Structures are given as structure tokens and as C-alpha cells.
Amino acid sequence: MVIYGVYIVSKSGGLIFNHDHNVPRIESERTFNYPLDIKLSYENKKIVVCFGQKDGINVGHVLTAVNGSLVTGRDLENGKDVFELLEQPESFPLSLKFSRARMTTNEKIFLASMFYPLFAIASQLSPEPRCSGIEILEADTFRLHCYQTLTGIKFIVVAEPTQNGIEILLKKIYELYADYALKNPFYSLEMPIRCELFETNLQTLLENVEKSGAGSV
Amino acid sequence: MTIHNLYIFSKNGTLLYYTEWSRLNKSGITKEEEAKLMYGMLFSIKSFVSKISPLDPNEGFLYFKTSKYTLHYFETPSGLKFVLNTDNISQNARELLQQLYREVYLEYVVKNPLCQLNEPIQSELFKLKVDELFKKSPLYLSRTI
């Protein structure tokens, strides 16, 4: 039973709150000899694996370190270019560390505003009249639950597909939002939520649900 | 249990086939426009899912559910996309889509030399077989019953 994250999207589609709960870190380090048996490419200012997945290194993973030295963009800490280094046989064997790309805050904002039209189109393309937007979206690794309040705010929880009782959890989060965010005199509507009480209460709620199911809340 | 409609898209987004059995709500736009909107939505969902997924996705997007219907999605490794809208209580629609691919699409489109791949499917036999497959499925129950 794992809850991966909670997002709150405002009426106008902006991300006003996000909380990563239990996101697993997927990392693997391996020693490589010349020539490399995986294909790397440079995309979106990251070096990603584009072909040849093995030993826990999957397509889409990002190169984070070479011989313990961190990679930023395509450069090492000492300013050398990674691709140049990988082309020189004398620099091998090399220990490369890969990890699954973590979402940056910017990407989260981007994804939240991307969910907004998906939600709207899903209700427009409905074969039945008077249909709501997406309530549950399932992929093989997670299930996303969305609850839209009457005022248009969307509460989104990303959890394991087997986690149940999320509907109750969503309503509870709404309750917390109403109590600790809306009643906070320093909080202005449609703006990011920065209320300590809200965050600590949410944290305990999520832990309770994970430990003993939604029945306990 | 009801099956509403079915879309088949090629890997570059051409609508290969569309059919509907029970659809009460018309989207108010032409079929071509609707297909583009649908493909665009699926394309965005795919990229959304691959970014938001906490683990490495394998099959990726499976289905989404709204208050009135469920959209089931099945994509083959060659990029062919099958989309089926059913009501919320229907189960195993994914297996039905795999069956559609295996037993109808491969047999009556790929093995038909007169059918051009990546172009809308005109074959009458294919239409007949699709209809047959869905009507004998347990998911297909007309609303009047």
C-alpha cells in the first residue's frame, strides 16, 4: 500500500499544492568497458538512455554520475564533456550511475496544466450525456484518482493500483484544505498553499491510510 | 453492460476505423475533428503517464474512468491503437481489444492484400466480423434489456 503523491489543481488549472509522499528512488550503478553496450542521447538538458536496457538500467533513465562525479547537463564537475569522455577508450573502465528522472517543480506545474484539458476533453468526447471528467486513470505502475469539488478545485492522488479507499482519502484532504488552507487568513485563493498545519495534517493522514487503510480516518 | 463505440488509430494518428453501437451524446463536431481530438487526448495521456509514473512503466496507460463511461486503451508494439468506450461496470474489455487485434484485425486486414495499411479500412468483411465479435461478447447488452 503506497501513496506516491498528492496534487491540488486550482479552478484555473494551476498547481497550487504538491506533496511527494513515498516516491521510490530507482538507481543503479555499473562499471562499463569500452565500447559502451548502451546507447545514450542528449535530450532536454539531460543524458538519457535511448537503447539497450539491462541490469536495472532502463530506457529513459538519466545519467547522474560518472566515477562518482555528478553530471549537470552534459558536463562533469570538472567541466569535461561526458560524450567526449565516453568516446575515449583510455578513460575506461568507467562507473556510470543512472536513475529514473525525478520530476522537477516546473515539470509538475506543466503536468498539472496538462491534466486540465485532458479532464475537459474526456467529458466532451463522452458517449453519454452529462458526464464528468476523468475520475480514475490507471496505468500499469500507478492509479491516479481525481476528485473535483463543486467549486472546481481538483484533488489528485497518485497511488499504487491496489491501494483502496482513495475516494474517502480525497474527501478527507478536501476537509483539511477547507480547515487549514481556506480558514488561514494569510492564504489567498488560487495561490500556492503554504500552510504548515495543512502539510503536517496531510502527512499524518497519508501515513494513517497507508498503515491501516482508509477505514481508520 | 454496454459497449458504446470503438476507434482504431494507426501509429501516426490516422483514424482507421470507427463504429458505434450505443451512443446518446454527439460531440457536436464532425467525425474527423472528433478523431483528431481523441488522438490528441490519447497522445497527451501517454506522455502524461510516462512522466508522472513513479516507476518505469511497462505497458503504460490502461484505461480511464469518468462518472458515466470507461475508456479502454490497447496499443500494440507497432503503434496501432484500439480505443473502446464502455460503461463503468464492464470488465475485461482489454482482453476483448486484444482479441479484436488478434482474431479480426490480423485476419481480415493484414492478411487481405487489397487492404492498404495505415489507410481507413473499407473492407465489408472486416466490418461484419467486428460487429460479430462485439455482439457475441458478454459486455454487449443492449440498453433496452
What CATH number is attached to the domain comprising A94?
2.30.42.40
Chain A residues with CB-CB distance to B61 below 8 A: 137-139
Among the partner residues A23, A24, A140, nearest to B60 by beta-carbon distance: A140
What pLDDT is attached to residue A215? Answer: 66
Q: Which of A37, A56, A59 is nearest to A48 (CA)?
A: A59
Residues A176, A78 share a domain: no
Examine the pLDDT at A164 and tell me if it is beyond 90.
no
Q: Give tens-digit pLDDT for B10-66.
A: 999 999 999 998 888 887 889 999 999 999 999 999 999 999 999 888 889 999 999
Q: Give tens-digit pLDDT for A133-158.
A: 999 999 999 999 999 999 999 999 99
Confidence of residue A108 (pLDDT cuts 50, 70, 90): very high
Question: In Å, how far is A40's CA from the nearest CA of chain B?
Answer: 17
Mean of the pLDDT values across residues A79-97? 89
Q: Give tens-digit pLDDT for A166-181.
A: 999 999 999 999 999 8
8 A C-beta contact, residue A30 and residue A174: no
Q: Tell me if B59 and A129 make a contact (CB, 8 A cut-off).
A: no
| Residue of A49, A59, A141, A145 to mutate when probing chain B, most B C-beta within 10 A | A141
Chain B residues with CB-CB distance to A98 below 8 A: none
Q: Flag whether A168 is in a domain.
A: yes
Contacts of A93 (CB under 8 A, 6+ apart): A31, A32, A33, A34
Q: Give tens-digit pLDDT for B64-94.
A: 999 999 999 999 999 999 999 999 988 888 9
Q: Containing H/E element for B64?
A: strand B61-65
Residues A75, A39 share a domain: yes
Residues A204, A164 share a domain: yes
Q: Which three cell numbers stand for residue B8?
A: 482504431
Phi and psi at residue B87, in whole multiples of 5°? Answer: -80, 180
Locate cell 502524461: which residue?
Answer: B48
8 A C-beta contact, residue A170 and residue A147: yes
Distance (Å, whole) CA B117 – CA B58 = 26
Distance (Å, whole) CA A31 – CA A35 = 12
Domain that holds residue A74: 27-100
How far out from the chain centre does Cα A44 lie? 17
Examine the pLDDT at B144 and tell me if it is beyond 80.
no
Q: Tell me if A131 and B22 make a contact (CB, 8 A cut-off).
A: no
| Domain edge (last residue) among A68, A85, A100 | A100
Q: Tell me if B53 and A142 make a contact (CB, 8 A cut-off).
A: yes
Other CB atoms within 10 Å distance of the CB of residue A125: 22
What pLDDT is attached to residue A204? Answer: 93
Domain total of chain A: 2
Examine the pLDDT at A190 and tell me if it is beyond 90.
no
Residues A207, A165 share a domain: yes
Q: Give tens-digit pLDDT for A1-46.
A: 789 999 999 999 999 999 998 888 888 998 998 888 899 999 888 9
Examine the pLDDT at B143 and tell me if it is beyond 60.
no
Chain B residues with CB-CB distance to A23 below 8 A: 54
What pLDDT is attached to residue B142? Answer: 54
Q: Tell me if B41 and A5 make a contact (CB, 8 A cut-off).
A: no
What pLDDT is attached to residue A213? Answer: 73
Q: Tell me if B49 and A60 make a contact (CB, 8 A cut-off).
A: no
Residues A143, A73 share a domain: no
Among the partner residues A128, A137, A141, nearest to B55 by beta-carbon distance: A141
What pLDDT is attached to residue B145? Answer: 41
Residue A149 burial by Cβ neighbours in a 10 Å radius (0-12, 13-18, 19+): middle
Question: In Å, how far is B135's CA from the nearest CA of chain A?
Answer: 18
Distance (Å, whole) CA B4 – CA B131 = 12
Neighbouring-strand partners of residue B73: B83
The DSSP annotation for A47-83 comes to: EEEEE--BTTB-TTEEEEEETTEEPBTTB-TTS-BHH
What pLDDT is attached to residue A186? Answer: 87
Distance (Å, whole) CA B3 – CA B139 = 7
Calculate the average pLDDT of chain A: 90
Q: Tell me if A141 and B57 make a contact (CB, 8 A cut-off).
A: yes
Least confident of B72-76, B97-101, B116-120: B116-120
Distance (Å, whole) CA B79 – CA A27 = 29
DSSP secondary structure code for residue B104 in this structure: I
What CATH number is attached to the domain comprising A114?
3.30.450.70
Higher pLDDT pick, A123 / B90: A123
Q: Tell me if B68 and A144 make a contact (CB, 8 A cut-off).
A: no
Other CB atoms within 10 Å distance of the CB of residue A87: 12
Q: Tell me if B24 and A129 make a contact (CB, 8 A cut-off).
A: yes
Residues A147, A128 share a domain: yes
Distance (Å, whole) CA A57 – CA A28 = 7
